Structure formats: structure tokens, C-alpha cells
A = this chain, B = another copy of it.
Amino acid sequence: TQQLVSKASVKAPRARPYRVSTADRSVRKGVTACSLEDLLHKVQDLLMLKDKPFSLVLEEDGTAVETEEYFQALGGNTVFMVLQKGQRWQPLSEQGTQYQL
């Protein structure tokens, strides 16, 4: 049994939980993914972005997440933001009053 477990963990990278926000921070959803490609596919479904180009950045500071290596180095529970064409990252404090007093 131990061998089976070891093999499985080599073949299938463990799926970790992440959070994905829209650019205006009005929608935030939880999702699991084992790779950046997996996450991109799931985000497409979650936020109904079929055929709409988008990129992923870190919600906290807008850092572009473009490589599998960087994605894997991030921890679970990282919050991503989806930027569609024409959208750009903005700090929370500039985003109107929706989450502020």
C-alpha cells in the first residue's frame, strides 16, 4: 500500500486550494488545482470566460503569474485575480468604497 501511495504522489501533483477574484473584487471563488494549466482551465469554467482572453495576477499586488514554476512555488490559499482584456490590477484602497467604510 505504501508503494501505491508513493507512486500516486509522484504521478499526480497534489491539488491545492486557491482563491480567485474578479478584477473588481465583486466575486471571489474557491478552487483546487494541481498546476497552472489546471487552474486556468478551471477559472475559465468558474467565471465563464470561454473564448475570452485573461491573465492571472496576485490579488495582493498585481504580480503576473505566467510560469508553472512560479505557480508551484506559491503556497496553497494564494489569492489570484483574473484580468480580462482591458482590465488592470488596482490596489484595494482605490477600488471605490465597496469594501471600505
List the interface of chain A (C-beta within 8 A of B): 1-3, 6-7, 10, 15-17, 19, 27-32, 57-58, 61-67, 69-70, 73-74, 76, 79, 90-91, 94, 99-101
Report whether B10 and A6 are in contact in the complex, using a CB–CB cutoff of 8 Å. Answer: no
Q: Choose from B28, B63, B94 the contact partner of A63 (Cβ within 8 Å).
A: B28
Query: Are A63 and B1 within 8 A (Cβ)?
Result: no
Contact of A99 (CB < 8 Å), options: B7, B31, B63, B91? B91
Q: Which chain B residue has the least Cβ–Cβ distance from A3?
A: B1
Q: Are A74 and B17 neighbours in the complex by a CB distance under 8 Å?
A: yes
* Contact present for B99 and A30 (CB under 8 Å): no
A66 touching B1, Cβ below 8 Å: no
